Structure formats: C-alpha cells, structure tokens
Amino acid sequence: MNVALPQYEAARTSLAAQARQWLHQTNGALSDELTLQPARFSLGLTPAHLQPDAVTTAVCGFCSTGCGLHIHLHQGEAINISPATIYPVNLGAACPKGWEALSVLTASDRAVTPLARNHRGRLVPVDWDAALRTFCERFQKIQQQHGPESVAFLSTGQIATEEMALLGSLAKFGMGMLHGDGNTRQCMATSVVAYKQSFGFDAPPYTYADLEESDVIVLVGSNLCIAHPILWQRIVRNRHRPEILVVDPRRTETAMAATQHLALRPKSDMVLFYGIAYWLVEQGHINSEYIQEHTSGFEEFRAHLAEYPLSRVVKETGLDEAAIQHAAQTIASGKRVSFWWTMGVNQSYQGVRTAQCLINLALMTGNLGRPGTGANSITGQCNAMGSRLFSNTTNLLGGHDFTNAAHRKKIAKILDINEARIPDQNSWAYPEIIEGILRGKIKGLWVIATNPAHSWINQQGVRDILSRLDFLVVQDMYHSTETAQIADLVLPAAGWGEKEGTFINSERRIGLLKKVSKAPGQALSDFSIFRLVAQYWGCGEMFSRWTSPEAVFHLLKKCSRGQPCDITGIRDYRMLDESGGIQWPFPEGVTEDRPERRLFEDGRFLHPDGRAKFLFEAPRDMPEPPNARYPLLLITGRGTAAQWHTQTRTDKSEVLRTMYPRQVYVEINPQDAKQAGVKPNQPVVVESARGRIKATAFVTATAPPGQVFMPMHYEETNKLTHAHFDPYSRQPSYKDSAVNIRPLADGDVDL
C-alpha cells in the first residue's frame, strides 16, 4: 500500500498557512462555534422566564435504542426536552438519560479551549492555531521517524456517521495511517463478526416492532429493563402475552420480570444452546423446509449436536432437566420466536460462537424474516451501527473490504482520490493497537470521544501502555476524563445537541441529530476539527467536497450503492426528518413507505450462494476460573438506567446522580458474604490478580453464590478485570475475572 504523503509534502507549508488564515477568517458554519463566549445559560429544566416558541425532533445521543426527542426551543436554542410521541422507536417514552440530555452540556469541566502540556508537565490553554500546528508537527515527526503506520487513532460510537467517515478517511487516506479502531470493539465486534460469518454481511435482521409481535422472546445476557428500558417498554406493549425466557447467571431486573429464568453457570451458554438444539432435532421440532431452502452446513451441525445430550447440559450448566426441557418446548411451540442478545454474549472469550448458537436456533426453527422473529443483537452506543458501516476502520466505507481491489477502486472513484491512498490491508483491532504501543510500533495516538484509561479491560495495564506514547491527543467534550488527564494535547469538542449529522440505531434506522445549542467557549464540532486538521496537515484539498455533514451524507449514499446497506433512496436530511428515521436498506427506486422493515423476508442471505451458514465449535475453557486465592467470579455490566458507560456525561446531571450510588459497590450473595465475614453496606476490599479496590458490599440474593457483580461505570471496576478476548472478534471478555473479597482493614490505607 502507499502510505507516504508525497503529493502533499510540497504544498503543506503554504496550505497550513492558508488554513490558519481560514481559521481566523472563517464564517458560516464555523463562525458561531468559534465564538469565545462560555455557555450562556444553564439548561436542564426550562428556566421559568423562558417559554418555548418552537419544537424540533432529534434522536437521542446516548444509547443505540435511538429514541426521538422533542427539543423545545426558545429563539432557536434548546431549553427543554420531552420524548417524541410519534417517533416509531420510542412512541412517547424516554429513559432518564434522554430527559437529561441537555443538562450534561453545561458542566463546569467542559473542554472550552485546546490544552497543551507545557514543559512543567501541566495542561495549559492554547489557541486553535497553536494546537493544530502542534498536532501536525508532532504526528508528522513521528511518522517521519517511525513510518506512517506508527500513528493510530481510537474512535467511538458516539459521534455522527458523517464525522466518523471524515475521521476514518482523513486518517487513512489523508494522513497515511493504517491502524484505527473504535470503542465499538468493546460492545459490538462480536455481533459484527457473527453476522458476517453466518449471514454474509453485518446485518441485524430485525425491527423493534418484532418485540411486540413475538409470542416467545428469548433474552440472553441482556438486562433489557435497565440497559434498553424503552425496548422493554416495547415488550410490555406486546398483546400476545409472550413467554419471556431470560438466560443470565444473575437474577437481574429483567430475569425477575421474565416467565422463565435460566440461571445457568457463567459461560455455559454454548452448552445450553447446543443442548436445546439437540433436543429440538431429537423431538422433530425443526423446520426442514427452511433449512433445506435457505441454509448450508446443517448436517455437520446436527452431527456436532450429538455431543450435547441433556445429561451433559444439566451437568455443565447447573440447570435442572425440567427447566431446560420446558425452555426447549417453549421455543418449539412458539409461532413467532425471537432471540435477542447484548453484552452477556458479546463481551465473552467465546462471544462469536455463542451469538451463532442463537443464530443457529433461529435458522433451524425457521424463525427469521417474519414478524416477531429473528436472531437479534441489540447494540450499545447511539451510533454503533454507523461505526460498523461507515467509520472506515475495519470496513472500507459502506461495508466494503479494504483487501478487495474492486472495492478500493469504487470508493476512490466516488471520493475522487488516488486509489493508492486507500490501504489494501485491514487495520489492527483495538487490542492490537494497544499491544502495538507496548511493542513500540505505535508511537502516536489520537483518541476521539472515548475514555480507554477508564473503560479498557485491565485498566492499569492500558494506562501504563498509554504512558509509553510519544504523543497522545484526546478530542473530547470534557477535559476531565481519565484519558484526557494523561494527554499531551486536548482538543475541545462539541457534543450532542451542538452539532448536526446522523446516527444509525440498533434496528438500522438512520435518524437526525440537530444543532440546538451553542458549544461552549472554543469547542468545535468533531466535523469541524477534522476539517481543520485536514487543512493544517496539508490534505485539505482531498476533502474539498466534504464541506458539511449533509454533503458527506450524500457521498456516503454513493458509497453504499449496491451494498446490502444501500441508502441511495434517502433524498436528504429533510426526508429523514419528515419520516421519523429510515431503516437501511433504502435503495433508489424504493417506493414502499413502511415505517418498520426487517431483513431476509425472502429467505435470501448475503453469502454468494444466498444461504445462511450454521457455524459452531466446542466451548472453550474459561481462561481465569475461580481458584483457591480468588474464589469468586466477577461479572461487570450496566448498573442503572441513569448511568452511561464511564459516566463522562451522566455524572454531570444532578438528577441522574440521585438515581445511583456515588461510590462503587459490589453485589455479593448472602452465603458468600457470610463466608467472607462481610456485612451489608460494609466497606470491603475486592482483589484480583491485577489489583485491589475499595467498594461497598451490597449483599443480595440477585448475585448467585460464587459470583459477584460490579457496575462498569465506576473507574475502579476495570482495575480488576482480566484482559482476554474473543479470538474472532477481538472483543474483550469483561464478565469472567477471578476475585476475592474481604472486609476493609485498618491497614488498607492505600485504598
């Protein structure tokens, strides 16, 4: 591949000078973002003296549900929020995070000016010109010394699709990087790989209406009630009185509301699903016609299942035979069975094959392509799906393949760039980039809207590794994140509500976000920052058509043409706005106007032979099982509906902060608490082979004996987790680290 920057070298100096001039003179789209005023008033609840004079609708910027929110405006600025009543996703409901989306914008730790680390090691304010010159000089010097691939980026599922596309294209085509990945590796990579292998494309097949159409709903590793509360509301609206099977080691809020809870041993889910598949085959409850017409590999799968008789399943899952048979019978008798999973499956060292267990069950029973059916991964972040298709990280724009010459040619032609600028190899995945830093291969890192020093598995390990970088840039709304605090340069970014673009939600619905508030200080939209970087770097000309988010949307439409995610039929942003979002695919010429559309209705999948594949393998051993020193298994996950990821935003809302404990806590079964001498609400030390933390004991029977649970939102949690990954998706396995617990002692002064 050609990763040098020759055609831009000569012009760089003069282009950078022009860019500086442009930065100072710019008007139009950038002008109001460049005002040097702080935020003008605190948002949150409508100030009494302000009455809304208009309402607009935009999609929420937290989770992948993608609710529509009415934003109440006063003289063009947002003053309050309410859930959109006719938006096809949320139908008038919103969770606490959505209601509080404005209040997190006015926090005192918003990044309002670029910050650069000075010779005393302190981050001090600098202007944009100095920041951008430092950015380019430092990264270019690293590339000159160590090669273009020695600088990488880590992006996010939290910024707009158009911003992701510009970032990925700028970094790879303009700046010569090869390696860049997103924090979606932590939540969705497993589903992406599972779908690609099974269906031939990363194609979640469902629409949310399926939650209301099913007569059997199987939820695996998914605490929907708090992680996706609006989707739980959709189940509550289901008029078919569905059977709800929850497969989860913990007695979660969702498990308590289910009709059947299979509280299996952690990581025994593959054995359970193979056992259920075996029972379905043995009892003749398979859809032979569907298997014959639309799938491949079933006979091999059937042979594999012979190793999973009920006796083995009972022994390895800890479930009783009657419960397993009842679950299998429920699936067999359902007319419209849907299988749903989230992080309990994805964040696993055998996540891809576990997800494919559910895909296999849907295929063998013919539960795909009809209302109320599907093998359905629910995503995490508001724009995880946008990242999967258009971030130019693991896929070339529009779900294309970097290693495919025809795909590179197509994209180069659409973007009017030299084909040689497009890498012909895939990027390293997130953990490989981290490892690359450790091995001295990556020397410079650009982190955008994510917080690896908090969220990455085995946190201390990653902090040590990040400290080895020659140059670390963090671009974020807040200067206070754990990663921003160790950066050499911080670029202040606008947040949701302060910029435009699109998000793609879990059910493939493309929705609009809107600029309804001014970013504080000198903060700029990520889109504007990327454009400025392009100018200063000297490759601005390459992006001369990428003038606005909507201009980029039109480029991405062209990139999608002929792909399973074809969106060429979406006319413009206005069409998205008027229609309440549009699900992909929506190719040119589509005349139907259904608000809910599902994939594979004709039984044709996206492999060249049009068939879905049965994929399977033997379960692996847990890499770090409980042992004499660390006898308990730590599971991490979502704490409450009021918390989001590393709490970078939700921690800023006074309302949300009242809805969860301020300090980290650990859920422990009464039996284990007694054995460890731990009393309710007592301060305890939780220790793993990676480190020790202080937490408050929450003694509760919802934690099964032998397991403890800690919410992922607290900084301390990932000091304990063990860094191991799914071999296919490279997604971290956050839910199986061995720990011990004891009461806090006087000697624990360092905690």
Binding site for ligand SF4 (CB under 6 A): 60, 62-63, 65-67, 90, 94-95, 97-98, 229-230
Neighbours of 7 (CB within 10 A): 13
Query: Given the complex with ligand SF4, which of 64 and 354 has the nearer CB atom?
Result: 64
Cα–Cα dist 192/524, whole Å: 31
Q: How far is the CB of 95 from ligand SF4 (least distance, A)?
A: 3
**Helix 321-333 vs helix 310-317: crossing angle, to nearest 10:** 120
Token representation of residue 291: 């298997």
CB of 459 to ligand SF4, least distance (A): 25
- Quote the least distance from Cβ 133 to ligand SF4, whole Å: 38
Q: Where does residue 317 rank: exposed (0-12), middle (13-18), buried (19+ CB within 10 A)?
A: buried
Task: Give the residue at shortest CB distance from ligand SF4.
Answer: 98
CA 665/CA 655 separation, integer angstroms: 20
CB of residue 709 to ligand SF4, shortest distance in Å: 22
Instruction: Using alpha carbons, list the distances in angstroms from residue 69 to 57, 99, 105.
Output: 5, 8, 16
Please identify, using beta-carbon distances, which residue of 94 and 437 lies nearer to ligand SF4: 94
Nearer to ligand SF4 (CB atom), residue 88 or residue 98: 98
Q: What are phi and psi of 487, to 5 degrees?
A: -80, 160
Beta bridge partners of 300: none
Neighbours of 417 (CB within 10 A): 17
Residues 6+ apart with CB under 8 A from 376: 204, 205, 206, 210, 338, 339, 340, 341
Residue 284 CB, nearest approach to ligand SF4 (Å): 41
Whichever of 229 and 501 has its CB closer to ligand SF4, that residue is 229
Q: Provide the 8-state DSSP code for 367.
A: -
Distance CA(325)–CA(328), nearest Å, equals 5
For residue 580, the minimal CB distance to ligand SF4 (Å) is 14
Q: Would you say 45 or 438 has its CB closer to ligand SF4?
A: 45
Q: Least distance from C-beta 283 to ligand SF4, angstroms?
A: 39
Residue nearer to ligand SF4 on the CB measure, 350 or 506: 506
- Taking the least distance from each CB to ligand SF4, the nearer of 257 and 281 is 257
Q: 99 or 728: whose CB is closer to ligand SF4?
A: 99
Backbone angles phi, psi at 512, to 5 degrees: -95, 140
Q: Which is nearer to ligand SF4, 383 or 721 (CB)?
A: 383
C-beta of residue 140 within 8 angstroms of C-beta of residue 120: no
CB of 462 to ligand SF4, least distance (A): 26
Q: What is the largest CA-CA distance in the chain?
A: 76
* Cβ proximity of 144 and 689 under 8 Å: no
Question: 77: helix, coil or strand?
Answer: strand
Distance of closest approach, residue 445 Cβ to ligand SF4, in angstroms: 29
The closest alpha carbon to 154, from 450, 358, 352, belongs to 450
Q: Closest Cα to residue 587, out of 561, 605, 609?
A: 561
Measured from the CB of residue 645, what is the shortest distance to ligand SF4 in angstroms?
11
Q: With the CA atoms of 483, 485, 486 and 491 taken in that order, what torsion angle do they form, in degrees rounded to the nearest 10?
A: 80
Taking the complex as a whole, the smallest distance from the CB of residue 17 to ligand SF4 amounts, in Å, to: 43
Nearer Cβ to ligand SF4 (97/407): 97
**Are 266 and 621 spatial neighbours (Cβ–Cβ below 8 Å)?**
no
For CA atoms 573, 579, 581, 586, give the dihedral sign: negative
Q: Are 630 and 739 in contact (CB under 8 A)?
A: yes
Least Cβ distance, residue 227 to ligand SF4 (angstroms)? 9
